[in-house]
A and B are shown apart, each in its own frame.
Chain A
Amino acid sequence: MRRAAAIVGRLALAAVFLWAAYTKLRDPWMVFAMEIDAMHIVPGTAVEIVARTMPWFELMLGVLLAIEIQMRYVATVATGLLVCFFSVLLFLYFKGFQGDCGCFGPGEQLGPKTLARDGALVALSLWVTWDAFRRSKYVPFRDGSA
C-alpha cells in the first residue's frame, strides 16, 4: 500500500513538472520571459537565460521522475526547485505583486489558491524525496562525518 502510494506520488510530481514544461514550451520563450521580468526579481540579463532553460529543466525533471532514475538526486533537486518557487511566490505575494505566477503558462494570477497549491506540491515533493532515501536505505552522515 505504501509502495503504491509512493508510485502515485512520484508520478503525480512527474506530471506536474511535465505539464509546467509543456505550458511554457508551447509558447515562444518571450512570453515566459515577460512574466519573469514583470516580477522584477531576476536581473534583466538573466531573464532570457532563465526563460529559455527553465522549461527544459522542468521537462528533464519530469521525465527522470517518471522513469525513476537516480531518485534520491532527482527528487532532491525537484524539492529544491519547488522550495525556491514557493519562497519566491510567498515573497511576491506579501510584497503585493498581483501579476501572473508563471507556474503553468500565462493567465494564472498569484493568489492564496496558487500558494496553497504550490505549498502542497512542496509537501508532496518532500515526501517523495524522503521515500526515495528511505527505500535506498541511505542514511546521510551515518558515519558521523559532515
Chain B
Amino acid sequence: MIDGARILIVDDDQGMRETLSQILEEEDYLVGCAGSGKETLERIAQDFCNVALIDIKLPDMSGIELLAELKKTSPDTAAILITGYASIETSVEALNLGAEAYIIKPLNIEEVKTRICRALDRQRLVMENRELLEKLKKSNEKLKAEIRKKEALQTKLIQSERLSALGELAAGMSHEINNPLCAILGRTQLLQRRLAKTSSDPKIKEGLDVIEVEGKRIDRILAYLDLYCTPSMVGIRGVDVNGTIEKALSVVNVDSDSSNIKIQKKFDSALPRLMADETGLMHVFMNLLRNTRDAMPNGGTLTISTSRQPESKMIKVIFEDTGEGIPKEALKRVFEPFFTTRDPGKGTGLGLAITYQIVREHGGDIAIESEEGNGTTVTITLPTGKESERSQQKKMSRKGGLK
C-alpha cells in the first residue's frame, strides 16, 4: 500500500460520496470528492490522485467519457468504475480504456477496499518499473559513453603503438645504414685524397664529390631519424613557454616582408613555468612555425595563443593559421614518420612525428584540426604539475642501456 494514498470519489450523489469517504478515511487514505466530470478533471490537474472511484452516471458526462479524458491528462491515476447497471459492452469498453476495475452496485465495501488495494499495488509496481527503466536507460547511456571513450582511446593507442613500432624500425634501419655508409664515405675520402696525389681527372673528382655530399645528406637524415627514436629529455628545467615561442619565432622567419604573413600573439602573461626540455619544445614550436609558413604561400594570419587550464593543471598552446589546410586523408597520417605531402627531397616527413614524440614525452597531447582550404589549428596541451614530472621520471628510468 502507498502511504497516504489519495483517493477521489466521483459521484453526483452526496450521500454516496459521504459514505464512501468515511469508510475509506478509516483506512488512512486521503479522500477527496467531486460531483461532476469537470470538477474531477480540475481537481486532478491540481493534485495527483492515486485512485479515482468513478460513478458511470455523472451530470455533465458519462463515466466512460471521464475515464478517457482522465487517461489523457493523468495516465497514472487508477480508475475504478462503479455502475448500477451491469452491461458487458460498457465494462469491456471501460477496461479497454484503461480502467483498473469495474464494480457493480450495490457496493460490497470489502470488494471496493480490495480493488483499491490492488490498484495501488499495481500502481506502485508500474512506478517502480518506470524508475528502474529510467535508471537502466541512464546506465546504458553511461556505458555507451564509456565504450565510445574506450574506442577513442584504443584508436589512439593503436596509433601510438604503430608510431613506436615504426620508431624502433627506424632506429634499427638507421643503425644498419650507418655501417655501409661509414665504408662508403670513408672510402670516398680515401679516393679523393689518392686522386689529388695521382691524377687530376675533373670528372672523377666531380663524381667523388657528389658521392661525398649525398652520403653526408644520408647521414643528416639518419641523425634526424635518431632524434625521433631517442628524443632527448636531458635538460629538464622550468621553462617559460611564451619565451620559448618567441625564441622559435626569432629562428624561423615566418613574417618576413615578402611572406605577407601576419602574426597575432595572444599570450597569457601569467603562464606558470613548465618542467620541460627547452630544446625539445623549441623543436616543437619551430616545426609548427615552419609548417604554418609553408601552408600560407600567399600570406595569411597566424594566431598563437597560450593559456592556463587551472582545473587540469595544463598549459594550452594553440597555433591557428589561415593557410591551405590539410586534406582529410592526409590528416590521419600527419604524425607518421616519413609521411610528407611535400615534394620529394623537400621534407623528411619526420617533423610532426618528432613533434608528437616530444609532446608525448612531456606527458602532453597534440591535436590537429584542419579542413582543406580552411586553415589548420594545432592544439598542444602540456601538464605543468606533478603529472609532467612523473612522465619524465618514467622516461628517464626507461632510458637504460642499449639493446
Q: Do A and B bind each other?
A: no
On B, residues with C-beta under 8 Å from A are none
On A, residues with C-beta under 8 Å from B are none
